[in-house]
Each structure stands twice: as structure tokens, then as C-alpha cells.
Structure 1
Amino acid sequence: MKIRLTHFVRSHYPLIISFFLPIFLMGGYFISQEMFPFGKSSLLTVDLGQQYIDFFAYFRRTLLSNPSGFFYSFSKEVGGNMIGEWAYYLMSPFNLFLLLFPEKYLAAGVMLITLLKYGCAGLSFGYFLKKMRTQAGLSIVAFSTSYSMMGWFVANQLNLLWLDATIFLPLIVLALHRLLSGKKSWPYIVLLAIMLIDNYYMGYMICLFLILYFIWFLFSKARDLKQIFSLSIRFIISSLVALAISMIILLPTIASLLSSKGQYTQSSVSLKFEYNAFKMLSKFIVGSFNFQQMPSGYPNLFIGSIFLIGFILYFVDSKISMRERILSFLISIFLVLSLCFEPLDLLWHGWQFPVWYPYRFSYVVSFWMLLLASRTLKNFITVRPWKIWLSFILYAGIIAYSFINEKKFSYVTNETLIFTAIFATLSLAVLAFAVNSKYNRVKIFLLCLISVVEISMNAYISLGNLSYLTQKDYATPTKALIKDSNYLNSLKDSAYRTGQTYSRTKNDGLANNLNTGSYFSSALEKSIPDFYGMLGNPDGDNYVTYSNGTIISDALLNMKYFITPIDSSLLKNGQPLSSLTEKPDLSRYKEIKQNKLTRIYKNNNALGYAYLANNQLKNLSVFYDNPIEYQTEWLNDISGKQNNKYFEAQNFNEVVFQNIEQSTKLTNSVFKKKNLAKSAQIVFKFTPKTNDSYYLTLGSALDSDNATLYLNNQPLKQYSTFRHTVIVNVANHSKGQEIVLTARLKKSSLWLNNFVLYKMNNRLVQNKITQIKKHSVNLKQISSRKLSGTYNASTNHLLATTIPYSSGWTVRVDGKKVSTFKIQNTFLAANVAKGKHSITLTFTPPLFVTGTIITLIGLALLLFIIIFESKKRRKV
């Protein structure tokens, strides 16, 4: 046994090191930075801390206790299809390690997965080089470490869901190379299918690169038409079989995308360069990444000096045929243009401009550069002096360009330029050094050492430019949310939603089994933010936040419970939970539970997920930037033709202008500073004459970029960004108490668009809701994708729901299927007959059944190919 193990290590030591070295290097860095579980900090930053960690919690809960959550979840805003989310965020096999960690310790699970992905990327590329026979021994370690810790990987370390692509890419390319070389085709089919299931977005980019690689393989050598046709057919058929196998996930995902990201596809393309292409040269400088590069920056291309030199030398290597080098040059030009020419950039991103993290496909460019470098730097043989000087001149040009334009690049410093120059000089010197075979190992060791130190320094400097969430900032609100969730779920109440007046992220509900009405996802259906924009809540292309509810919207959207933080003055060590919104309306709800940090209130007006309504609701108009009118019409249309006015505009008792010209008109007026050097603000005062609810509407110009708002001399609790008019609850049960609102200008002027104070007639609203509740539908949630209950209609009615419309929903009344349609451009509805009836709603993702059938056909074809190739090989 010991002999076998020794033999295994000797035979495979480059691959073993390729796996463990990146883990050791990055693990050492994480420990030095006291990342959890090795300290108080964590790897959670930007989307990893604000989005992905919540999806991981949802992944864990779905697999352990709620399998139907794979298909649908009411924790996704007001409810939605989840297959698209799984296909984009959660299908990585590495996520299974998260099952080992309790929810509050998920940050430790993220650490483990991150390190494993670093290691597996190194192992994958090392295996690729070994099987392609372009490198051997320690040179494999040098290449694989550079690949696993390249600039793209480090910059996107927080995008854990994308990192699998770097692991699968070398394996898929190797399998394709073998397929085209006349060997087995099933490894290529299986690996490509797994990648497409793992993450269709990154898989799409790999497919584009595979086309380029196929062209490179096909035409880099002289082939006759028969060979070209034969190889093309084999490539196409194998790729289509892989695509068919993945259709169980891809087809329902496509259906989901058509209602979400697909609606943001660019309809027109500009034939322009996005920036001066020379600027990407700065990304070959050590440490060329920081936070400013996340929202908008240049491609992350850093691979280390030795391998950039190798890439340059490839094109002047006479040992490689001129035909191959010319074709490689043309492909390289295409890839470079893809990194700066808008049409090609859009092509790689599925015809949509990325929101943050630009040039997400640049990992395939780095792979291509390392691939070509590996073909010319075989075991780091001696390079001729003129080639060294050529590389020196080109590399010096890169450093000189970056130095001259240093002020244009926030990530370039004198120190990083010096480090880059040192590593480039050492690399060139050792590459040029001619030694006999006796000392070749020393040369290879030195080059390996130089490359590892350089790539590590790049990673450490780049990651050091980011800030991270502490473990306490994650664990404290998570613990509070879990406690509240466990209590509410123990009530075994009918189907309901739960609002929050505090939050850690917009995906708190998804992470903690609460239907909060808030959500953040790249695959958010377009109709949902459109609806939130009309309702008076913050929305964006990829997020919605139910932070600005009224008595009306709370009732209609079935917000039956609310969780709010306890006043910090009542806590010994202060309140660690940050408030999300003002909610004086909670005084009208009943407190039912108090925990250490939170209180839970019950809203008895909640209507449930469905109610009986008049057919007039089908014709509810669109009211962008007029949420007061929209909510009024919605409530009225439920019962038919009524003109009740639930809101009444109010005047302020006093308005004080400080360093601003006075005006009698407030709403939709522009106010300018008198003295630009001094601060300016407008103070609004009013005293409620009743104990009704008071609301203030704020237009999009009143977000946190333009003004700081205060309520009674305290910062107004309000979600900072919004693109449509929102409603803010500023008073309830405040009769006779002066309310002071202050708008402090952040710029030279401020537009008070849609700035109106309203008083709600709470008694009229309550009477209306009570009337609607008499015709409510009693629904219970059987699972994430099934609801059942009864209704009793005095006449033929419209069954209205606040469940987002999808063709995947099936409604059955007394066991018979009824037709469904969309109301309010958002929700599911059906026409139902009078009388008492049972009703069932079930959800199956659109095209899921069709996708499953195609996958089974694909698997049958794969089995046929395996058997056919096996028999063919036996005959040979």
C-alpha cells in the first residue's frame, strides 16, 4: 500500500501540487486577514454578502426540508418560478458542502467552497496541460497556479457561481480536442452538459469559445473537405446531444428568462469601441483591481509576466507552423476586439450589457493566452536573445504606458509598477539563461517560484483593495430572523406574507423562510418591478423592496405579520439591527410576540393570497408615479364602480427655507441654493388633526443622491434609491403632535417632484377591507407549489390573486381545470361560478415537462453513442 501511494505521488505530484498550492496560498491570505472561521471578518462582500449568501441559505433549506422550493417560492418577492434562479445561482455541485454548515455559519461554508474552487481550477488546468503534453513536472504547477489565481478569478472570487466555469473549461476543451482527434466523444458530451446545467450563463460563453477552438483545431493544419465535413458533423452532433441532455434545466430557464432578463435584451447595437483598447494593457500590472473596477472597469486579464511573455513569444516561434500562428493571431484579435468593441461584447453577454462586473467572459481570453504560452514555453526551454529583447521591448511598453497614464487608473501605483518591472525582468533573465540539462530543473524551479510569488502578490494586493462584512454583521440579524421565522412558522397559520421594517438584505425572506415581498436577483421578472413602481415601493431592474406599504397595500398583498426592531433605548447594548423604513402604522396592528431584538405584529386586515372581486378589476389602469391613485383605484375596483377617496392632500402648517429662495409652490418646483458654499435645507412642519395615517410621496429626485431627509430631526428611515415615486408613512395616532420634515440639499439645487403630504381616511379604508373580507377565499399552503381551499360566491365572480401570473399555474375548481389570465399586468386570475366550491392551485414550471422529455431523448442518444463507439473500437 505504501509503495503504491509513493508511486502515485511521484507520478502525479504536479497535479497534487496544482490542487493544494492555490488552496495553501489563498487559505494563508484568508487566515492572515482573520476571515471567518479564523477571525471576526468574512469573505462576504458586495453581491456575495448581499445576495448569494441568502441563496445559499435557501439552497440548504430546500434540500433539507422543502424540496418543492426547487420549483416555486413565495419568498421570491410576491412569489415566483425558481428554476431560473437555481440554473443561475445554485446548481454548482460544490454547493452540497453547504449542507455541512448551520445557517449562521454559512460564511465558513463559503470559505471552504472558495478554496476548493481555487484548488480545482488549478488541478483542472494542470490535468489539461499534462494530457495535451505541452508541459510536464513543475512547469505544470507554474501554469496551473497562474490559471487558478489569474486576475479574472481573483476579481470574481465573490461571484462564486461563475467560478465553476474555470474548472470545467480546460476539461471540456481537452475532451473536445480528443473528440476531434478521433477518440471518445461521450466525455465531451457529458462535461458540456454538466457545465450548461451548472451555470447556463457561463456555459454559453464556453460554447462560444468552443466554436473558436473548433475553428482553430480544424484549420491550423491542412485538411481535405472530407475531413472538415466529418469533424464538423461530429462536433455539431456531440454539442447538440449535450444541449439536449441539459434541457431539463435549460428549457424552463429559457421560459423564465423570457419574462425577466430576456425583456432587457438590446434591440439596437452601436458599432463603436467602448474605450481605448490600449487601456486594457494596464490590467497586466500587478494588483490591477479594486472596488471601482466592479461597476465599470476594464477586462481582468492578469496572468503573470512569464506567461504574458510566453503568449508574445508564441507568435514568433518558428517551431510552430505559420498556418497555426496566423490563425491563432486572427482569433486573438477577435478576442481583443470582443473586450472593447460593443457588438462583440454584447455577443459574449447574451446581447445584454452586464450590470456591474463588465467583460465577464475574459477568463476564456486568459485561458487562450495560457494555452498558446504553454505551446511555446515547453518546460521553459532557453529562449533566443532576440526574442527576449522583443519581449522586453513590448513589456517595457506596457509598463511605460501604464506609468504615463497612471492617474487614469485608480489601481495603478508606483509600487505596483515597480513590482511588475521586477517580476518581468526576473522572468526574462531566467528564461534567457542557457543551462545544460543538469541544471534545467533549477531553472524551472526558479521560474515556477517567480510566477507563484507574482500571482500571489497580485491576488493579495487586489483583494486588499476591497472591504468585507464582519461575521457579526451577518450572524446577528440572521439569528434574529431565524428566531422570528421559527415562531411564525410554528403558528401553522393560513398562507400569508410577512413584512419587515428592518432588513439585512433584500433576500432576507428567501434566506429565512419568510415571504417578505422583497427580492434581489438577476432573473427578476420585469412585471414585478413595474408593479412595485406603481404601488409606491422602491424597484429596479433586478430588485424590489416592500418597504413603503400603506394600510391598503398591506391588506391587499396579504402582509399578515410585520417584524420590527425593538427601540434601541430599551436595549442594554444598543440595537444591532438597522431599520429599513418608517412604519407608524404598526400602532394599528396587534403586537403578538417580543424577542430579544424584535417585535412581531399581526395585521388582521390581510386578505389572503386570493379574494373575490368585480370584473372591473380587469381594467385597472396604469398609474406610474401616482401610487396614491393606483392604490385608490385598486381598492375601489375590487367592488366595482365606486369613487371613494381614501387619501386627501394636506397643506403644511409652515415651510422654512434656509439659504434657498422662498416659494409658495412646493410640489414639482426646483429650489436652488443662494450661496453655493453654504449648506441649504427646507423645513416642513405640520400638526395632524386626527389619529389617521399620514403619508408623504417622494419623487425619484428625492433619493439619497440628491437630498438627505430627516423626520423630527432624525434621519428618515427610507430605502436610499428609487426610480419611481414612493410613499412614506410619517405619522399615525399623532393627533396634536407637531411633525417636522427636513430636506437637506446635497447639490446646488433640488427638484421636489411629487412631494405631497396625504391623510388617509382610516375608517373608510377599514370598512372597505371588512367588506372585501366577507368574500375572501380561504387558502392553505400545502407546499411551495400548491395551494388549496374553498370560496363561497353569491354571484359569478373574478377570482383575483396576488400571485404573479405564469402559464405554469393550474387552477381547478371542484377538480375541474379553469382558464387563467393576467390582471393588473401582474397577477393570476380566473373567472369562477357562484356558490360554495373547493379550489386548488398547482404550479409546474413552464416547459419543464417538455425539457424533461428532451433530456431523456438526449440521454438515450448518449447511451447509443457510447455503445456505437465501443463496438467500433472493438472492431479496430
Structure 2
Amino acid sequence: MKSKKLVYFLSFLIPLLIVSGYFIFRSFAPFGSSSVLTVDLGQQYVDFFAFYKHAMLNDPSSILYSFQKALGGNMLGTWSYYLMSPLNLIFLLFPMKLLPAAIGIVTILKYSLSGLTFSIFLVHRFKEKSLSVITFSVSYALMGWMVANQLNLLWLDAVILLPLIFLGLEKLMHKKWSPLFIISMAAMLMINYYMAYMIAIFTTLYLLLFTIPLVKSFTEYLKHMMRYIGNFLIAVLLSAWITVPTFIALQNSKVAYSSNELKFKFEYNPLLMIGKFINGSFDFKQMPNGTPNLFVASLVIFAFIYFFVSPRTSKIDKILSLGLTAFFILSMCFNPLDIFWHAFQLPVWYSYRFAYIFSFWMIVIAYKAYLSIVHEGLNRRALIISSGIIALGLLYILVNLSKFEYLSTDAFTFGVIYVVATIALISIQDIIPTVRILQLGLLILVSGEMSLNLVNSLNNISYLSSSDYTKFAQMTEQSTDILKQRDHNFYRVGKTFQRSKNDALTAGYNGGSNFSSTLENNVSKFYGDMGNPNGDAFVVYTNPTLFTDSLLGFKYLITENPFATKSSNTIFNTLTNLNTNRPELSAYNLIDRNAYLDTYQNQNALPLVFRSNLKNTHPKYQNDDPITYQNELANSFGMTGNLLTEISPYDFTAENATPVNSLNNAIINKKLLLKKAYIGAKIKIKAHSSLYMTINEQTPVRDISITTNGVKIKQFTPFKHSVIVNIGNSSNHTKIFDMNISTTKQNIWLSSIKFYQLNQQKLANWAAKIKQDSVKINQTNSTHIVANFKHQDNKTIVTSIPYDSGWHAEIKNKTVPIHKWANTFIYVNNPGGAKTVKFSYRPQGLLLGIVISCITLIITLTSTAIVRRRK
């Protein structure tokens, strides 16, 4: 082919047609009612994309900070990991109801752009404009890693940029500087620092090895290294505007709670990697902890091996390439190197995330070998050795097929067919009239093989329908939009159900749950302390009490409509998961009811900023005891005595089980094997009280069923600390509850189960006393809050804003220091009794990063202009 543009166009078009064809076949939006939403893309990223659209169009300040992230948090780190892809701008063109369709379009484009950039690399690096460029570009765009990780949409930009970065690196090896390397690496750092880190490792290793044959002395070698460091440093400094504040934010989030113990061991038998070179070698079980996704075309596998056994490959090239290859292979099975590639944070799901770089490396090496075959002829000895090695690999898979659970017999058979067809086509190249016919045959063969892998791999995964997301979004927005119309003050919204932990990001309200790699560690710890489920990257506000609702400003609570029609109830149960019962919501005021949801108002909710005689900013409580923790919190804000008091069950019963005299640490021993076992008790609480039960992480909630007065108790799982579960409520008279616990297991230990009642009147009096100090809060955007109190008072100014050094407080036009209460939230001393306090937020490091980037850009552009002028 004579036209570069045609090569580029076809390298872009063929992956687009293949992926679009499959999407049409599966009815993925925008071509049907299904969608590409699955696993994290459906449970996490789609909510971030909805937030992206809201932030860009309605509230740009939320790019820096948002109260929709759990109780509030820095968002710049979230943007730099999840949302900086330029292709995300496409989301702005679509209404919310078509967001799954927009995600489908962006996914297709990322496949296509990967093929385009790889073809650009091959054309410029090897000075080729043949059909073979398209063939290898298709293999790259549709490689197994790309297919397996299409649900991790935020990572795919790395596959697009890697060929450009590598092309720039190769130019840098022969010149003093490479604008292409600097620009593409800076872009990668801005789009996704995590993937950029992996690429940086690769480019550094490549340069360290492949500079050796280019230099004549160690001094010259060092000059090449310094040249690389200088260019890389420019890229880093250009991206400093986002990487500096992101790095600081990570110190308070992922870095703070992550710890990995190096284990000098192999994680699995390295030979098991071979199975991933067969098409369709991926399924759902491979996501949590499978082997690396390495699938590339049979042509690539053959040519890659051929490169190392061909006598036409230079010895030094073989040695250096083999060294880098060995390092890659070792990294994908040896624990310390695996952790090293993942920035010393062992991945949770999606193992060996850097495997796309090895696939890139294989394809580049294979293309070199292929050009040797085309231009210098096929070496028969190398052909036989390469074919023999592949045959041994296939024999190993066949003998151990049971170990490769993800491989079907049909997939293996087709794998063999494609290998044989590829080797056969290459073997007869000498008798093919023209090279173009060989190249066309290989293009068709590779396109078919990559298409089959796409189909076989993605057919193993289930997906959400497009309407599952949009219907849920419309359902929650119907309730939250009413709140926005009636209440223009700051408030938080709790709920008893969820589609995902990031529902608040989709509907645009201040919720209490979040799932994000950049979740602040102090917020997560606070959730665990107060008896809510939490983890390293998530918190859920599923186990509140009336006290935490009040203290944290959860003014509105949304739950399912118990009187919904059968059809509405079916839709609700299809789209959501009910995480908790909250019978205590009857203590709140019902203010809205629609076909699906009820909305309650909490009259005891405190404002975001209030004044109080804060006594103890660090509750001293017994670890993993949320009841004591909440009582001490209440005491620190002036409440006397315990708000939550323990009560004891009585009148114990047992059916098909050994009798018990306590539910706490009880053991259920079943008598008759085929019947359920039941134990029960009665619990009496006073008028105007809420009944709670505490359970811990050892309580076998999956193996038991708990009911109170016949109502089954729901509980979010997993949880790693004790949690508080609301199981009952009384109004103006005492109430007795029948507690029943059943199981089908033979023996069950209930671990720690205790019961408490909360005095609602005591809570109401406490909240009313604090709210007497009237305050008006003016929140102009997510980063500026002004609180105006009606009267002067020197009480402490307290907030439920999570502590972050980026927050600044100002009283009487003077900056005052912020402090922590409960080691989590901001408070400010106010000895002068000022009536107004202003809070503003700027991410730490943002200004410094912007200054660094601007200075670097100015110096770089000026230097370039001077050099060009001299020339």
C-alpha cells in the first residue's frame, strides 16, 4: 500500500467494524437494549461518568471537592484516576438516559484508536506502509488484555498512548530530546498516573538495555540515561498541575490503608500462562485472581518465537530482547516483582494489570521477525524449531486441559486450527506469487482469530441491560429532585437500598456511601468506629442510628414504598438491593411518596456547621465497640449519661435445637438434620425508643435468618467490624418484640449479639438545644461555605466536614487554624464569639503543581523557539 493515510484508516476501521459488529450481535447500547455495563464498569465507573457530566455542566467546583463522595472528600485524585480521558467529553453530548450508549461508543473508539496509534508506530519506526501494518495493528487493538479489561474503561487510554510513547522513546535514543515522548508521556501521566507508572518502568528498562549497543563508552551510556531522565522529568513537570495534588491526596487515602507483605514465592506455575494464548481464554472467574491475559494472534506467537531462533536476528538483539522478555515473564508470576509493577499495592481483582505492555512487546518483536521473513526469506530451520515449540505448548495444554477451567474443548480446537493455518500460510510464502497476497491472507486470518477471541471471551460475561441503570437513575432522581426543589440548604440523604455504592454520584445528592480507590482513610475508619460497614476503598451508610443521622446532618431518608403496587415492587426489587431495614424511620415525618419510594424528614438533623461546647475531640472507647463510641461522641457534645443502653432478652425458646439461655455467643445445635433449627427470645423496650442489635464480623449472617415480629432483617455484607442493626421502634408506649433466629446448618455459633435501646426523647432534646443557636449556611459551591449565626457566642464552631488540610477557615477576615474532632471532622475555636465563619477549599499541592507546570511549559516553549531560530 502506498498511502499512509489508508493504512491508518484501515487500522482504525477494522477494529471498529469488528467490535461494533459484536456489539450489534449482543444488542449493546447504542445498538440495542443491553449494555457493556458489568462488574466495576456497572457498579462504580458509570456513576463517576454521571458525576463527570454533572460537574462539567453544572458545578465545576466539584472537580476539586464533593460532598457526594461519602461525607465529603477531595475529588482531584478521583479525576486523575477515573475521569481524565479526553474521550469522556463524548459523555457531555448525551442525556443521562443515554449514558450507557455513550459508554458503548467510547469503548468502541478506544479499541479503534489503539489500532490507529499502533499503526502510526509501525509506519514511522519500520518505514513500512503494507497490509502487514494493519494486520499487527488489529492484533494489538484486539489483544486479550484489551478484551478482558474493556470494563476497566479508564485503563484503555494506556493502550492507545503506549505506541506513541514508545515511538517517542526510540527517537529519544538517537536525539537529545523527543517532543513526542514528552507530550505523550505527559498526557499519560495526566490521564491515568497508575498506568503511566507501569509504562515508565517499561521505558526505563528498555532504555537501560537497548542503549548498550548504541554507545562506545560508559560515559556515553550515562549521557543517554541523563537525556532520558531529562525528557521524562519535563513530562512529569508538565503534568504536575494534577500529579502533585493527586500524590498528596493519595497519602490520605490508598497509601494510608494499603500494606503489602512481600512474599518471595511464585504465585502459580508459570507454565499456566501458556493457556492464555488460546482464544476465549477468559471468563468471570479470571477477574479476581486469574493468570495474565496475554492472548495475541497466532501469527504474533509464531513470529515472536521465530525472532529468537532465527540466525538472521543479531546476537545482541536476541540477548537483550530475551532479557527483557524473561523479566516480564518473571514479573507475571513472582510476587515481589508483581507488587513492584503495581506501585507496591497488590491488586484487588484484575491481576497483572501491566500485561498489556508485554503483549505490546511481543507484537513489536514479532513484527521485526515478520519483516525479516518477508524481506530476507523464511529460514526453514527456524520455522521447524518455532513450530515445534508451539506444538509442545499445545500438547502441554491438551494434557493438562482440566487445569485450564476457562478453556473449552472447542476453543482449544479453534486455537490449534488457527496456529496450523498461520504456520501453513507462512510456510508457502515462497510459492505465493506476490507478498501482497500473503499479507492479505494473514490479515484475514488474524482478523478472524481476534474476532473469535472477542466473541468467546465476552460471551462468558453477563451484562446489565441499558434500562437497568437509567430506570434506577430516574427512580432516585424523582425523589431527590423534589428535595432539591423544597430545600435549598445543605443536607445529606440516607437510604435503605442501593444499586451501587456510588448512587449519590448518579443522582447528584449528598449521600453517605462511596466506592473509590481515592477514599480518605480517616472517613473509612470513622465508619467502622460508628458501626457501619467499611473497607479499604468503600464505605456504606447502611447501619446508622438516629444519633448518627442527627449528628451528620442526614436530614432526609429514602426507603421503599411498602404500599407499592405489585408491578412497581417487582421493578424496584429488580433494580436495587435492600441493604437494611429501618423501622425507626417511623419516628421521622413522611413528606413524599411515589410509586416506588417513600421520603422521610429527620427533624433532629443538625446543620453542616453548628456551635457546641465540644468537650472531648477524641473519644476514648473500647475498640470495635460502636455503641460505646456513639455514647462517648454524644457526651463530647454535652449529652449527659448514655444515649444507648443495653437491654437483655428474656423468655428464650428453641425448636429443633438445644435450648439456650442467651442469644449472645449462643450455639445453635440442630436436633433433626432435615429440619430448620430455631431459637428465639422476647425483647422489651420503653416508649419512644429504637431497638438495635450489634453483630460482628464473625456472626454467620449468610447462614442464618433473623426476624423481628415476623419481619426479616436485612444486612449489608461484607463488614469487618461490629455493626449496629436497627430492628425495632416504639412510639408512645412500651413494646415487646419477638426475636427469632433460624438456620439450616447443623451447628452455628452466633458470636457476639447484644441489644440496645436509644432514648428518642433524649436525642430530640439534645438536638433541639444545639439547633437553638440558629445558623444560616450559604453554600455558593462545593468549595465555599459561609455560616452566619444569629447571636454572638464563643462556643466551638463544629462541622461534619471531613478534615482535609485543603480546607481553610476564616473569621473576621483572618485565617484561623482548623482542628479535628473524632479524628475525622473539622472544628474551629471561636474565643471572640464571632457570628460568621467562612470555609474554603483548595486541594493541597494544586497551586504548586500549576506553577510548576506553567513554568516548565514556558521554559520548554522558549527553549524550543530559540533552538529553531538558531537553526
TM over 0.5: yes
What secondary structure is seen at the aligned counterpart in 2 of 1:438? coil
Q: 1:313-712 alignment to 2 at 5 Å?
A: 313-378=306-371, 381=374, 382-436=377-431, 438-567=433-562, 569-570=564-565, 572-577=567-572, 578=576, 579-639=578-638, 643-673=640-670, 679-686=676-683, 688=685, 690-702=687-699, 704-712=701-709
User: How many Å apart are 1:807 and its aligned residue?
Assistant: 0.8
Task: Name the counterpart of 1:34.
Answer: 27
The one-letter code matched in structure 2 to 1:758 is Y
TM-score calculated relative to the size of structure 1: 0.95
What secondary structure is seen at the aligned counterpart in 2 of 1:825? coil
What secondary structure is seen at the aligned counterpart in 1 of 2:264? coil
User: How many Å apart are 1:669 and its aligned residue?
Assistant: 3.9
Asked if the contact 1:72–1:83 (Cα under 8 Å) also holds between the matched residues in 2, the reply is yes
User: How many Å apart are 1:584 and its aligned residue?
Assistant: 1.4
Distance of 1:28 and 1:267 partners within structure 2:
43
Task: Name the counterpart of 2:786.
Answer: 788
User: How many Å apart are 1:463 and its aligned residue?
Assistant: 0.6
Distance of 2:776 and 2:843 partners within structure 1:
24
What secondary structure is seen at the aligned counterpart in 2 of 1:779? strand
Distance of 2:667 and 2:352 partners within structure 1:
39
Asked if the contact 1:792–1:834 (Cα under 8 Å) also holds between the matched residues in 2, the reply is no
Asked if the contact 2:80–2:192 (Cα under 8 Å) also holds between the matched residues in 1, the reply is yes
Distance of 1:304 and 1:677 partners within structure 2:
54
CA deviation profile, 1:374-415 (whole Å, cap 9, x unmatched): 111118535333222222222222222222222222201211
Say if 2:824 is the partner of 1:826. Answer: yes
Distance of 1:436 and 1:828 partners within structure 2:
79
Evaluate the alpha carbon distance shift between residue 103 and residue 361 of structure 1 in structure 2; reply closer, same or farther with a 3 A threshold: same
CA deviation profile, 1:134-173 (whole Å, cap 9, x unmatched): 6542111111111111111011000000000000000011
Task: Name the counterpart of 2:859.
Answer: 861
Asked if the contact 1:220–1:327 (Cα under 8 Å) also holds between the matched residues in 2, the reply is no
Q: Gapped runs of 5+ residues in structure 2? A: none
Moved more, 767-776 or 288-297: 767-776
Asked if the contact 2:564–2:596 (Cα under 8 Å) also holds between the matched residues in 1, the reply is no
The one-letter code matched in structure 2 to 1:378 is L
Task: Name the counterpart of 2:134.
Answer: 141
CA deviation profile, 1:614-656 (whole Å, cap 9, x unmatched): 34221312444221111111111111xx641222323334444
What secondary structure is seen at the aligned counterpart in 2 of 1:753? coil
The one-letter code matched in structure 2 to 1:718 is Q
Evaluate the alpha carbon distance shift between residue 174 and residue 681 of structure 1 in structure 2; reply closer, same or farther with a 3 A threshold: farther
Moved more, 731-740 or 348-357: 731-740
User: How many Å apart are 1:483 and its aligned residue?
Assistant: 2.3
Say if 2:761 is the partner of 1:770. Answer: no
Asked if the contact 1:392–1:428 (Cα under 8 Å) also holds between the matched residues in 2, the reply is yes
User: How many Å apart are 1:744 and its aligned residue?
Assistant: 4.0
Evaluate the alpha carbon distance shift between residue 571 and residue 781 of structure 1 in structure 2; reply closer, same or farther with a 3 A threshold: farther
Task: Name the counterpart of 1:761.
Answer: 759
Evaluate the alpha carbon distance shift between residue 621 and residue 767 of structure 1 in structure 2; reply closer, same or farther with a 3 A threshold: same
The one-letter code matched in structure 2 to 1:804 is P
Task: Name the counterpart of 1:23.
Answer: 16
Q: 1:32-431 alignment to 2 at 5 Å?
A: 32-133=25-126, 135-182=128-175, 185-266=178-259, 268-378=261-371, 381=374, 382-431=377-426
Moved more, 298-307 or 113-122: 298-307
CA deviation profile, 1:783-810 (whole Å, cap 9, x unmatched): 1011102236776332221111111100
Evaluate the alpha carbon distance shift between residue 391 and residue 603 of structure 1 in structure 2; reply closer, same or farther with a 3 A threshold: same
Task: Name the counterpart of 1:835.
Answer: 833
Task: Name the counterpart of 1:844.
Answer: 842
Sequence identity (%): 36
Distance of 1:359 and 1:675 partners within structure 2:
49
Distance of 2:700 and 2:95 partners within structure 1:
38
Asked if the contact 2:564–2:595 (Cα under 8 Å) also holds between the matched residues in 1, the reply is no
Asked if the contact 1:18–1:122 (Cα under 8 Å) also holds between the matched residues in 2, the reply is yes
Distance of 2:565 and 2:397 partners within structure 1:
56
Asked if the contact 1:559–1:606 (Cα under 8 Å) also holds between the matched residues in 2, the reply is yes
The one-letter code matched in structure 2 to 1:112 is I
Distance of 1:718 and 1:37 partners within structure 2:
36
The one-letter code matched in structure 2 to 1:473 is D
Asked if the contact 1:661–1:672 (Cα under 8 Å) also holds between the matched residues in 2, the reply is yes
Distance of 1:35 and 1:218 partners within structure 2:
47
The one-letter code matched in structure 1 to 2:806 is G
CA deviation profile, 1:268-305 (whole Å, cap 9, x unmatched): 42222111111111111211111111111111111121
CA deviation profile, 1:37-74 (whole Å, cap 9, x unmatched): 32221110000010000000000011101010110000
Distance of 2:651 and 2:390 partners within structure 1:
68
CA deviation profile, 1:801-843 (whole Å, cap 9, x unmatched): 1111111100111221111122211111121125342110000
Asked if the contact 2:18–2:451 (Cα under 8 Å) also holds between the matched residues in 1, the reply is yes
User: How many Å apart are 1:684 and its aligned residue?
Assistant: 4.4
The one-letter code matched in structure 2 to 1:700 is E
What secondary structure is seen at the aligned counterpart in 1 of 2:748? strand
Moved more, 735-744 or 749-758: 735-744
Distance of 2:589 and 2:228 partners within structure 1:
65
Asked if the contact 1:608–1:776 (Cα under 8 Å) also holds between the matched residues in 2, the reply is no
Evaluate the alpha carbon distance shift between residue 846 and residue 670 of structure 1 in structure 2; reply closer, same or farther with a 3 A threshold: farther
Asked if the contact 2:792–2:835 (Cα under 8 Å) also holds between the matched residues in 1, the reply is no
Distance of 2:15 and 2:744 partners within structure 1:
46
Evaluate the alpha carbon distance shift between residue 145 and residue 836 of structure 1 in structure 2; reply closer, same or farther with a 3 A threshold: same
Asked if the contact 2:215–2:221 (Cα under 8 Å) also holds between the matched residues in 1, the reply is no
CA deviation profile, 1:60-92 (whole Å, cap 9, x unmatched): 011101010110000000000100000000000
What secondary structure is seen at the aligned counterpart in 1 of 2:820? strand
Moved more, 45-54 or 415-424: 415-424
Select 2:730's aligned residue among 730, 733, 736.
Answer: 733
Distance of 2:163 and 2:742 partners within structure 1:
55
Asked if the contact 1:18–1:144 (Cα under 8 Å) also holds between the matched residues in 2, the reply is yes
Distance of 2:679 and 2:528 partners within structure 1:
26
Distance of 2:165 and 2:217 partners within structure 1:
26
The one-letter code matched in structure 1 to 2:485 is S
The one-letter code matched in structure 2 to 1:137 is S
User: How many Å apart are 1:694 and its aligned residue?
Assistant: 1.1
Asked if the contact 2:159–2:356 (Cα under 8 Å) also holds between the matched residues in 1, the reply is yes
Distance of 1:615 and 1:650 partners within structure 2:
29
Evaluate the alpha carbon distance shift between residue 160 and residue 797 of structure 1 in structure 2; reply closer, same or farther with a 3 A threshold: same
Evaluate the alpha carbon distance shift between residue 25 and residue 549 of structure 1 in structure 2; reply closer, same or farther with a 3 A threshold: same
Evaluate the alpha carbon distance shift between residue 790 and residue 380 of structure 1 in structure 2; reply closer, same or farther with a 3 A threshold: same
The one-letter code matched in structure 2 to 1:720 is T
The one-letter code matched in structure 2 to 1:724 is H
Size of the aligned set, in residue pairs, is 864
- Cα-Cα RMSD: 2.2
What secondary structure is seen at the aligned counterpart in 1 of 2:430? coil
CA deviation profile, 1:164-219 (whole Å, cap 9, x unmatched): 00000000110111122227622211111111000001111111111022123302
Moved more, 352-361 or 624-633: 624-633
Evaluate the alpha carbon distance shift between residue 540 and residue 707 of structure 1 in structure 2; reply closer, same or farther with a 3 A threshold: farther
Q: Gapped runs of 5+ residues in structure 1? A: 1-6
CA deviation profile, 1:683-736 (whole Å, cap 9, x unmatched): 444465535211111211236444344455454232122111111111223767
CA deviation profile, 1:727-750 (whole Å, cap 9, x unmatched): 111122376776444444475543
Asked if the contact 2:553–2:607 (Cα under 8 Å) also holds between the matched residues in 1, the reply is yes
